[in-house]
Amino acid sequence: MKVIENYKMAIENSDENLLKEVFASQVRVEVPAGPSVDHPASTASYILSQVAKTAPGIRCDLTADAGNNWFFLCFEGELESQKLQAIDQVHLNNDGKIDHIIIYMRPIPVAQKFAEVIMQRLQPAR
């Protein structure tokens, strides 16, 4: 499916503009042990465009149709020489746009470090 392929490429290449194309106007983003937040497409695009900048070389090695407009994308990468695995559970709305993302990461210590590093990236420059 084109939207899922574009999402995968956008994550791997830090492509904020491509993410804006695949996202619905509002995107719910959920992370383990974090808040579930509805973001405008532009904000969600910016945040998720930081993934490959935080974990350079991250690659999607598996996608699967889970039914009912849900898809799984499995990513592998490294953060500071430690292996990282992430699964994005992605939902498409009736217009074929992504409106909900649930992100799972492991191992937990690397996921916690990832969260710290990406939050620093998202802080406004001072």
- Average pLDDT of span 49-76: 95
Cα gap 18→100, rounded to integer Å: 16
Straight-line distance from the first to the last Cα atom of the chain, in angstroms, rounded to the nearest whole number? 41
Pairwise CA distance, residues 28 & 44, whole Å: 9
Residue-level pLDDT at 125: 55
Q: Which residue has the higher pLDDT, 86 or 35?
A: 86
pTM of the predicted protein model: 0.91
Q: What are the chain's domains?
A: 2-122 (3.10.450.50)
Q: What is the pLDDT of residue 119?
A: 81
Most confident of 19-23, 47-51, 106-110, 115-119: 19-23
User: What share of the chain in percent tops pLDDT 70?
Assistant: 97
Give the amino acid at 9: M
Q: What is the pLDDT of residue 32?
A: 72
Q: Each residue of 59-72: b (16+ CB within 10 Å) or e?
A: ebeebeeeeeeebb
Characterise 15 by phi-psi region: left (phi > 0), alpha (psi -120 to 50), beta (else). beta
